[in-house]
């Protein structure tokens, strides 16, 4: 007699078993949609078990039995969330978005369950209150302080009724941020202009025409030309198209995103987010959301943020008005019977630049091939830090377009893995960013977990006849994001809780890289013609240098306007946080500082993803870019003062004092350790032509 045994094969979840991949990268080729939720649930379960082990310990709380295990907890959950959140931005699918929306409330609850765990907080509090009498290193003291403050900011000191309210707010904020991002992506993907008559292409360079034809082909409209509100498509069109009506049509599609009164309208979402954030701040004892956010930044108070923004606003607006007047004179001289509009700015700015400096953006593109810029960045980091890059073809990637590299130290030692993902697609959020699939970590067994870093961009795509040829802004963006990547790759932070730096310090590593992108000496090395290999001619570099301050009034003003708008939303007190009309609020905010109608804020409210597309994101922190520019402009002076922009001694000091340290010291201490003094604002004013 034989027994017939039927059993269902257990589905293996790649998140819950060893990856067994080269360099232990996520097995993207094996991860399926159905793996995320079970892995998250298991990660939450494991994390709660770890927390229970801490709270059930009958020994007196110490750094070793409370702070360290807390800092090391949640590893499985973090591993899953880093993959899910990063792919959720770079390779969105409807099914993944559904998972994200489903697990978001669970994750919000889990975070609150930990931050409001009374027994856990009590143990952390005991260690915190004993700092003065304990023999701790400066890093250990900072970790204890950060953990304690994190609990307080998470609601640990609130009464049960307040905690329940905070839980509800956190969940609602998480869902609202997801909704904002979904709406924006739908609006961005849903708008394009289709050109059928070749006469409507007048003024466009051949490369821009070819790009439009390629996008039309991708949309099943072969024989026509398509231009979208993705910046690599939109900005060249606005810069060169002689058809004013089409320029206005395309630009209005961009600046009206999320403000069209349709299913993807973001105005009500914004009102909800602003109100919820203010409620949270009030419960936690802060006057406004901005006070809550900036309290842990270098600025410390919203007043300090406004002080910097206002200090720059007056000279920037003055220069912007002069730029506007110069363009209006050109319009009048040509017999134009109209006033310059926001949609005209790029077109007439380019004409003025051509007239004044004999410089055309399209003159630069042949020297800025994506491959050439990438190799230039690789060469620069080898000059500064000795790094080498080995392209990997036998490693899983999350999308066929993503490239992978092993990053090596000068002595050949493995430093980390770098993913690069360059071009727009319907499944990708707009903009450019750097993130990570794994942080540096010193494990308890003495081994080291090396980082996995990812750069995601939306650059100009190649066409059938040319490789990807970048605008200068795109090339500079690549340098910028690579600075973030170096910050992640170089990390040597011992404690996980000290990895992050203040929001207004985090742009220093990225923005200092931009100084090499525009430096005449390095342009000569990396900017080479994609066909001939000839370096950018001295005459063209001289024109770039001569026009270095051109249009800086516009660039600075549109940035400052967005920063002020962000702060105005988030410094609303409880009696004013219920906004009646988002568009009216934005107008009032901009009218108050005298923004001219020819310039919109860099991000209008309904597509300001930096501040509304994430639970926290850059809310009350968009100013961070200009705050950090004070630092990066001053920091690059160290290289210039030495007479060698590749000075390895200074680069090594910047690496050891800033890039390796994360948040293991006060941010200003990190900076002064490198520079020997606090930064001056003078280099920034000089770089932007505002002095």
Question: Do the beta carbons of residue 679 and residue 630 sit within 8 Å?
Answer: yes
225-228 and 192-195 beta bridge pairing: antiparallel
Query: How far from chain centre, in Å, is Cα 609?
Result: 10
Neighbour-count burial for 375-406, b at 16+ CB within 10 Å, e otherwise: ebbbebbebbbebbbeebeebbbbeeebbbbb
Give dist(CA 550, CA 518) in Å, integer: 14
DSSP assignment letter at 658: I
β partners of residue 418: 405, 453
- Taking CA atoms, 653 is separated from 44, 189, 593, 639, 659, in Å, by 40, 44, 41, 11, 9
Catalytic, out of 476, 481, 558, 598: 481
Question: Do the beta carbons of residue 566 and residue 618 sit within 8 Å?
Answer: yes
DSSP assignment letter at 222: T
Question: Do the beta carbons of residue 113 and residue 48 sit within 8 Å?
Answer: yes
Give dist(CA 362, CA 316) in Å, integer: 27
Backbone angles phi, psi at 194, to 5 degrees: -110, 120
Q: List, as one string, the DSSP characters of 338-405.
A: S---GGGHHHHHHHHHHHHH---HHHHGGGBBHHHHHHHHHHHHHHHH--EEEEESSS--SSTT-EEE
Give dist(CA 293, CA 620) in Å, integer: 6
Is there a catalytic annotation at residue 481?
Answer: yes
Residues identified as active-site: 481
């Amino acid at each position: 007699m034989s027994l017939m045994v039927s059993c269902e094969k257990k589905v293996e979840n790649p998140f819950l078993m060893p990856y067994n991949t080269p360099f232990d990268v996520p097995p993207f080729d094996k991860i399926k949609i159905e793996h995320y939720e079970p892995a998250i649930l298991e990660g939450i379960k494991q994390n709660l078990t770890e927390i229970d082990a801490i709270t059930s310990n009958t020994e007196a709380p110490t750094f070793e039995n409370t702070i360290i295990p807390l800092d090391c907890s949640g590893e499985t959950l973090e591993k899953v969330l880093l993959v899910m959140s990063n792919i959720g931005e770079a390779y969105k699918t409807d099914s993944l978005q559904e998972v994200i929306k489903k697990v978001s409330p669970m994750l919000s609850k889990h975070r609150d369950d930990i931050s409001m765990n009374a027994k856990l907080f009590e143990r952390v509090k005991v260690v915190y209150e004993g700092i003065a009498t304990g023999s701790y290193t400066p890093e250990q003291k900072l970790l204890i302080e950060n953990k304690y403050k994190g609990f307080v900011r998470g609601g640990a000191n609130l009464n049960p009724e307040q905690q329940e309210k905070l839980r509800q707010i956190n969940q609602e904020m998480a869902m609202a941020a997801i909704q904002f991002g979904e709406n924006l992506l739908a609006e961005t993907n849903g708008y394009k202009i289709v050109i059928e008559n070749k006469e409507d292409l007048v003024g466009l360079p051949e490369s821009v025409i070819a790009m439009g034809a390629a996008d039309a082909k991708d949309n099943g409209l072969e024989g026509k030309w398509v231009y979208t509100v993705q910046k690599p498509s939109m900005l060249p069109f606005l810069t060169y198209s002689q058809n004013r009506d089409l320029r206005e049509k395309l630009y209005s599609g961009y600046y009206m995103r999320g403000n069209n009164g349709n299913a993807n309208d973001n105005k009500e979402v914004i009102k909800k987010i602003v109100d919820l954030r203010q409620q949270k701040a009030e419960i936690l004892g802060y006057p406004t959301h901005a006070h809550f956010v900036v309290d842990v930044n270098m600025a410390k108070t919203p007043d300090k943020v406004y002080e910097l923004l206002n200090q720059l606003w007056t000279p920037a607006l003055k220069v912007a008005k002069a730029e506007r007047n110069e363009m209006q004179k050109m319009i009048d001289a040509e017999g134009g019977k109209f006033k310059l509009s926001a949609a005209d700015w790029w077109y007439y700015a380019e004409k003025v630049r051509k007239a004044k400096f004999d410089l055309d953006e399209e003159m630069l593109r042949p020297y800025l091939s994506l491959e050439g810029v990438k190799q230039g960045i690789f060469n620069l980091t080898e000059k500064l830090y000795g790094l080498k890059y080995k392209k990997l073809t036998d490693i899983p990637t999350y999308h066929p377009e993503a490239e992978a590299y092993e990053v090596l130290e000068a002595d050949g030692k493995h430093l980390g893995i770098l993913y690069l993902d360059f071009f727009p697609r319907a499944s990708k959020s707009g903009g450019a960013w750097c993130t990570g699939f794994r942080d540096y970590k010193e494990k308890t067994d003495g081994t080291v977990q090396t980082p996995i870093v990812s750069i995601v961009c939306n650059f100009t795509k190649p066409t059938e006849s040319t490789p990807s040829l970048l605008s200068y802004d795109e090339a500079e963006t690549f340098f910028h994001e690579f600075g973030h990547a170096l910050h992640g790759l170089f990390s040597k932070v011992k404690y996980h809780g000290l990895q992050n730096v203040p929001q207004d310090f985090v742009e220093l590593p990225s923005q200092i890289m931009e100084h090499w992108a525009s430096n005449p000496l390095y342009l000569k090395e990396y900017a080479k013609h994609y066909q001939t290999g000839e370096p950018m001619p001295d005459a063209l570099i001289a024109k770039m240098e001569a026009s270095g301050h051109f249009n800086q009034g516009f660039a600075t003003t549109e940035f400052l306007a967005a920063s002020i708008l962000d702060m105005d939303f988030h410094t609303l007190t409880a009696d004013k946080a219920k906004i009646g009309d988002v568009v009216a609020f934005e107008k009032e905010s901009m009218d108050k500082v005298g923004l001219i109608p020819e310039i919109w804020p860099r991000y209008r409210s309904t597509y300001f993803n930096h501040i509304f597309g994430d639970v926290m994101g850059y809310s009350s922190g968009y100013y961070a870019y200009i705050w950090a520019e004070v630092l990066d402009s001053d920091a690059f002076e160290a290289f210039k003062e030495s007479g060698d922009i590749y000075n390895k001694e200074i680069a090594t000091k910047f690496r050891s004092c800033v890039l390796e340290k994360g948040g293991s010291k006060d941010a200003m201490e990190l900076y002064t350790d490198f520079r020997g003094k606090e930064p001056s604002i003078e280099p920034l004013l000089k770089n932007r032509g505002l002095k």
